[in-house]
Amino acid sequence: MDWGIENRLSRLIRQDGRCQFLPIDHGYFQGPTSCLEKPSETIRELLAYADGLFVTRGVLRSSVPSNSSTPIILRVSGGTSIIGADLANETITTSIDEIIRLNAAAVGISIFVGSDYEKQTLTNLSNLVNECEPYGIPVMAVTAVGKELEKRTARYLSLSCRIAAELGARIVKTYYSTEDFEKIIEGCPVPIVIAGGPKCETELEVFEFVYDGIQKGAIGVNLGRNVWQNPSPVAMMRALHAIIHNNKTPKEAQELFEELRNT
């Protein structure tokens, strides 16, 4: 691996081989999402605990302090909206010049395997890898399903993750699956981070799926709503940190969460 790519990945993935990314990119297709209406306020207390911030260029420029030392994963796919015809109909939104100008540590792009736009989004990924690799910028692929959340079976995710890695993604972000998550990991030759999905009923549910996913080989998380839609987002960040970086169990994370929530 080239020094530049290695250096950028080492800023995002800690020496323990694990990472905790914080996504705030949701507005790029769903507008002012609940608890993310003012991104600068959402991240103010959270940024220091994130190993990487997943964000579009617009929110980066408008809402993230430029003296922040948290590495940036720039969301560079889009062009659709929640009320449009098909969320999968994405394009690459951000040029390589912009990516370099914004000092991104990595870029992120969605692929929609099995959709009407499968070829288009996979070509987007390949083209982005072709553009970024010469500059040592790693690409993170997001295995997206749009509104079809029921698609998230282990078999489907395994297919999507493998294709993303084959096309050159250096990291793949995918959903946790209660069944056969280890098979998704085994079939993907690059590291996987777990995406969150809609907010869970309880904190413990989040701690349990993150813990299980890490035990089965995921290197970390990219969790948004389950952090910043929680009434105690800093406690959530820190409890997740304890699972990801300190090998704490879901029960220990829950205890820490309760303790921090009450301080």
CB of 197 to ligand 5RP, least distance (A): 5
The CB-nearest residue to ligand 5RP is: 196
Q: From the candidates 173, 183, 216, 251, give the one annotated as an active-site residue.
A: 173
Nearer to ligand 5RP, 93 or 226 (CB): 226
Nearer to ligand 5RP, 1 or 82 (CB): 82
Nearer to ligand 5RP, 18 or 26 (CB): 26
CB of 3 to ligand 5RP, least distance (A): 28
Of residues 111, 90, 93, 8, the one with CA closest to residue 56: 93
The answer to whether residue 173 is catalytic is yes
CB of 2 to ligand 5RP, least distance (A): 26
CB of 31 to ligand 5RP, least distance (A): 13
Q: Which positions lie near ligand 5RP, rule CB under 6 A?
A: 23, 25-26, 54, 142, 195-197, 222-226
Question: Would you name the residues annotated as active-site residues?
Answer: 173
